[in-house]
Each structure stands twice: as structure tokens, then as C-alpha cells.
Structure 1
Amino acid sequence: MIHQLSDREIVIQLYATQLLILAASAVIGFFCFTDVHDFLKLWHIRDDNIIWYGVTLAVLVIFADLAVMKWCPSNLYDDGGINVLLFKKRPVLHILFLTLLIAFSEEILFRGVLQTHIGLWAASFIFTVLHFRYLAKWLLFIMVAGISLLLGLIYEWTGNLFVPVTAHFIIDAVFACQVRFQYVRRGLHDGNVKS
């Protein structure tokens, strides 16, 4: 169905999904946290763990994903071209904004609200299931479940929501930019895309 949408409609759907996730976080958080200060205690910007855990995890996941792409048949990790449709025509600054929005909205809901109140395993399960487009592909399903658990673990270890947000952002931004650069490179090679 996404292949029938225009580029503009795809972007609108992405923004709508992220706003829905933020709204769900606000509603669920309203009942789970005693007040806003209780939620704000999850964020610590001056924390070396952002680098040690967040950036390190992102680099490890990126290398693992690159290894999968190198050694596994593409049909095992192909998401049906959805990421290509989402990011191939986006300028890099828009990609960075989108991936930052995705990282914040998803980590607020899954780690900040759900994991804080129902635990690592339940939050990771919900995260994985809600990425339903990966359910039909066993390798993608395992990768998403593993990444979710790792994001949850670094949140458990550090108690700082900025740590999984950082990791999530770097992972998504690198792969979204990779999609964009491959599209531009192919277009330049074919002579039909402006960089």
C-alpha cells in the first residue's frame, strides 16, 4: 500500500505516526508518572554514558547490520523498499531531523514510559511487534528484537533516556543517509538524479 502513496503522502504518514507515538506517550505517561518532574528525572544531558553506552551501541549495531548486508541474501533483510521510499529523496538535514524525531518519540514511549513501568521484556516485545512490517521476515524480526533489547539494557544500566535516544538516532541516521547516498550515486551514474 505504501508504494501507492506519493512522496509527500509518505512523509506526512511518517510525521503522523511519530505524533501519534508522542500522543500515546503523553496519555500513558499521564497515568504512570506522578508529575512532569518524575518524567524529567529520566533525562541527564551531562552524562558520559551517552558516549560510552549510546555511541558504542550504535557503532556495534551498525557494524552488525553491515555484516548482515554483506553476508546474507538481500531478501532476508529487505523491508519491501519502505526505507528506500522514506529516505531516498530526503535532503540530509531533513533525514537528520526525521531520525532525531523518530529516536525521541519511540524512546520516550518504549523506554521512558513503558519500560519504566512494565519492564524491559514487555517494552521490547511491544516495540518489536509494533514494527509489524518486519514480522514476516525472520532475520529483520530478530534484528529489531535484539536492537530493542539492547536499547532497553543501556537504559536499564544508565537510568538515562538520552543514552538510548542517542544510540537509536545514530543507527537510524546512518542507515537513512546510506539509503539517500546510494540513491544519489545510482542517479548520478544513470544521469537522472540531482544531488
Structure 2
Amino acid sequence: MRKQREIVAELTDRQLVLNVYLSQFIMLLLAIILSFFVFDHWIDFLELFQGNLLTVVFLSGAIATVIVMVDLLMERVFPKEWLDDGGINERVFRGLTIPKLFLLCAVVAIAEELLFRAVIQSTFGLIIASSVFALIHIRYLDKPVLFINVCLASFLLGGLFYWTGSITVTIFTHFLIDVILGLIIRNRYLKQVKRSVVK
């Protein structure tokens, strides 16, 4: 993990964002390839995208709000160093325009949910899919509070997919979580920059 931090530290913010896109492209490609083996017919895969629009919006909004509120509560309860991811999330989001932030969050939500929920969970079940999802966030392994938080979010998304049978709900929930937290990180950074300019 130290080696990963050293590599990340050497990257510019732009290179870091490009690496996020590259990793998501690999996940999406993997999801597409594996779906040929998991689903007998494309119709089985397409059925996962069911869902009434109002249900998707309200259910996703409610779950995303709960997860974001827990994140914000954790910031008030735990010491800052317990929640420090090495500044990676800040570096990813701080320089993005709002449309670029929305695009990045959409790509992440689609790629990760298709791979971990639609493909892995459909094949191996909730526990394996959610555990693997949590483990890909390797930079959190030496931060128990962050890792437990990612695990809980992962199992919640997995449970949501199990309960609704709709990948649309989990994609939109994941998207909302990332967008809201990304906007919070971006706004905090911009306020910090303004304060330092005023001084």
C-alpha cells in the first residue's frame, strides 16, 4: 500500500483521473466479456435494467442520502487521520468541472455495478460480490474505519440489487453517492483556495 501511495504521489491530478478512467474501462470490458458466460441470452441481461423511474429515483435518492449522511457523521466523530485516503479523492475531484465530475461518476457507477452486481453477484452471490468490491479499494485496507465504511456501502448496494433485481437502482444509487461526495470535496477545496487567495 505504501508503494501504491508513492506511485499515486508521482502522478499529476490529470494522470490520476485518466487512471480512474482506465481502471473503469477495464472493469467495463471485463463485465461485457463475462456477461457472455453468465447470461444465456441478452434478454436476461437487459431484464436487469427494469425499474419504474419514480421508484429508481426515490429509492436511490434515499439510500444515497443515508450513505452520505453516515460519511459526514463519521467526519465529525472520528479523527481526521482515520479517514485520510492519502488525498486521492480530493485530487481526483478538485480540478473537475461539474459536467466532468458527473461524467466520471457515471462511468464509475456503470462500470463497477455492471461488473460487481450484474455479473459477479448474479454468479457468485451477494457476499462474494460485495467482499470483492470492498477489496478492490485496496488503499483503505490500512484504514479500518474507511474500509468498514466501504464494506457496509458495498453490502448495502448488493442488498439493494438482491431486493430489487434492478441494476438501474444500484447504478443510480452509486452515481448519486459519488456525485454528492465529489461535489462536497470539490466545494471544500474551492473554498480553501479562495481563503488562501484572500489571505
Same fold (TM over 0.5): yes
Does the alignment pair 1:27 with 2:56?
no
Give ranges in structure 2 of 5+ residues lacking alignment: 1-6
Aligned to 2:170: 164
Aligned residues: 192
- How many angstroms does 1:117 deviate by? 1.2
2:10 is aligned with 1:4: yes
- Per the alignment, residue 77 of structure 1 pairs with 83
Give how far 1:63 is off.
0.7
Q: Which of the residues 135, 140, 150 maps onto 1:134? A: 140
- What corresponds to 2:155 in structure 1? 149
TM-score calculated relative to the size of structure 1: 0.94
Q: CA deviation at 1:94?
A: 0.5
Give CA-to-partner distance per residue, 1:40-87, whole Å, 9 cap, x none.
110025344313432111010111111001111011111111001111
Whole-Å Cα distance in 2 between the matches of residues 6 and 62 of structure 1? Answer: 28
RMSD of aligned Cα (Å): 1.3
Write out the 4+ residue segments of structure 1 that deviate beyond 2 Å after TM superposition: 45-49
Distance (whole Å) between structure 2 residues aligned to residue 47 and residue 114 of structure 1: 25
Does residue 42 (structure 1) correspond to residue 42 (structure 2)? The answer is no
Please tell me the residue identity of whatever aligns with 1:44. Q
- 1:110 equivalenced with 2:116 (yes/no): yes
In the aligned structure 2, how far is the partner of 1:45 from the partner of 1:159? 9
Equivalent position amino acid for 2:15 in 1:
E
1:181 aligns with 2:191: no
Higher share of residues assigned helix: 2
The answer as to whether partners of 2:51 and 2:169 remain within 8 angstroms in 1 is no
Q: Does residue 68 of structure 2 align to residue 53 of structure 1?
A: no
| Structure 1 counterpart SS, 2:50 | coil
What CA distance in whole angstroms lies between the structure 1 residues aligned with 2:17 and 2:10? 13
Q: Residue 53 of structure 1 contacts residue 154 of structure 1 at CA under 8 Å; is this kept in 2? A: no
TM-score between the two structures when normalised by the length of structure 2: 0.92
Which of 121, 126, 144 is the matching residue for 1:120?
126
* Gapped regions of structure 1 (runs ≥ 5): none
Which secondary structure state, in structure 2, belongs to the residue aligned with residue 112 of structure 1?
Answer: helix
The aligned counterpart of 1:96 is 102
**Offset of 1:183 from its aligned partner?**
1.1
